[in-house]
Amino acid sequence: MDKVKNIIVGCGITGITLARRIAEEKNEEVLIIDNKDHIGGNCYDYYDENICVHKYGTHIFHTDNKDVWNFLSKFTKWHPYMHKVKAVIEGIEIPVPFNINSMEMVFPSCLSEKLQQKLVEKFGFGKKVPILELRKCDDKDLNFLADYIYKRIFLDYTLKQWGVKPEDLDPLVTGRVPVYVSRDDRYFQNKYQGIPLNGYTKMMEKMLDHPLIKVKLNTSFNDIKNSIEYEKLYYTGAIDEYFDYKFGELPYRSINLDFQKYDKEYYQSNSVINYPENYTFTRIGEYKYFLDDKSDKTIVSFEYPEAFVRGKNERYYPIINEENLALYQKYLDEAKKDPKLMFLGRLGDYKYYDMDKAIERVLNMEI
């Protein structure tokens, strides 16, 4: 029977950050395993045609947390990058989230000026207003604006992405798609934004480069659980899967990514362009924009959201609502019965995490 002090299941950004903390701060050995054939989880990237491609869809790092930024900066230099997203509305590429610049591109100037004035008076300049909140306004002009944005940008995109109407989603999800009373076209307004200079994988390789950290890929916990002894198990995989779905299956949305290579310098005008009104895909990502990679070819991905089905695709987004959170709580209560066991990460916590929040969770936890 093999023995190890700490086992971490899942070699994504959460597990890797935790492994580094345990090795550095506690001076304890860590075995980190993953059933994939690569490190990094959904943050994994690789080079093709001199282009750094994100295998699981576009990933942009952004945070206001200086501790998180400084932690990662020990393992990478940064390529400064301010993410902007466009959406094709009525055949025009406009900035999203919908803002004052978007308004001026789709409306006559007289209407745009009136709407701008009312938005500033009602909410203040620089405010982000959730679209469902804007729909509750009793002003007919703001109602018109809310209905326009809801139908053109929000409704069909949400139906494609989540398979339900916006009203049936948790406010934490709908709040991520605001109307921005500003001319700031950036998708994020965080203080620190960028892409690791040599890609996420190289950064995470350096995080794992410690004599007390051992990595085993192509390995599931079920493969080794009966042949190894441990003092602590940190599980970043799906909590319902760990307990063999004894209370039922936690639902997720997934994405089918269709990667295409083109014999041209660029395919589109921007790194990410959304298609809320047209087609069955939600967006197209073009990867060479992120690190300003130079190549006479380009690589893009078309994103087709779909339901998660075990054995068919990857878990991407937990579907947060009262029923699913109640089911998650049952699993969490079960987990608390084992003092050697701790769940964390997107799948362990059944929570959508931006990368910085996943790292912040690990930096702030007691180990």
Residues 177/99, Cβ–Cβ less than 8 Å: no
Give the residue among 318, 320, 258 at the shortest CA–CA distance from 283.
258
Residues 255/306, Cβ–Cβ less than 8 Å: yes
- pLDDT tops 60 at residue 175: no
Task: Determine whether 302 is exposed, middle or buried from the number of CB atoms within 10 Å of its CB (0-12, 13-18, 19+).
Answer: middle
As a whole number of angstroms, the longest Cα–Cα distance in the chain is 76
For residue 16, the SS3 value is helix
Q: What is the pLDDT of residues 25-79, one digit of tens each?
A: 999 999 999 999 999 999 999 999 999 999 999 999 999 999 999 999 999 999 9
- Rounded CA Rg of the chain: 22
What does DSSP assign to residue 84?
A: B
Give the residue among 77, 96, 225 at the shortest CA–CA distance from 154.
96
Whole-model pTM over 0.75:
yes
- pLDDT tops 60 at residue 260: yes
Confidence class for position 176, pLDDT limits 50, 70, 90:
low
Q: What is the pLDDT of residues 111-131, one digit of tens each?
A: 999 999 999 999 999 999 988
Q: Given the structure tokens 């390789």, which residue do they identify?
A: 205
Q: Given the structure tokens 């999203």, which residue do they identify?
A: 96
Residues 8/230, Cβ–Cβ less than 8 Å: no
Helices (H), 45-108: 66-73, 100-106
Q: How far apart are CA 353 and CA 62, in angstroms?
A: 12
Angle between helices 13-21 and 200-208 (to 10 degrees): 30
Phi-psi label, residue 160: left if phi above 0, alpha if psi -120 to 50, beta otherwise:
alpha
Q: What is the dihedral of CA 24, 27, 31, 37, to 10 degrees?
A: 20
Domains and CATH numbers, the chain: 2-82+192-250+318-364 (3.40.50.720), 97-180 (no CATH)
Q: Are strands 30-33 and 2-9 parallel, antiparallel or unpaired?
A: parallel
Q: What is the pLDDT of residues 142-166, one digit of tens each?
A: 999 999 998 999 889 989 999 887 7
- pLDDT tops 60 at residue 325: yes
- pLDDT tops 70 at residue 190: yes
What b/e sequence results for 191-212 when a residue is b if at least 16 CB atoms lie within 10 Å of its CB, and e otherwise? ebbbbbebbbbbbbbbbbeeeb
**Is the dihedral angle over the CA atoms 320, 324, 325, 331 positive or is it negative?**
negative
Q: Write down the pLDDT at residue 133.
A: 86
Q: Write down the pLDDT at residue 132.
A: 80
Give the residue among 124, 65, 72, 131 at the shortest CA–CA distance from 96.
131
Task: Determine whether 337 is exposed, middle or buried from the number of CB atoms within 10 Å of its CB (0-12, 13-18, 19+).
Answer: exposed
Q: Write down the pLDDT at residue 303.
A: 98
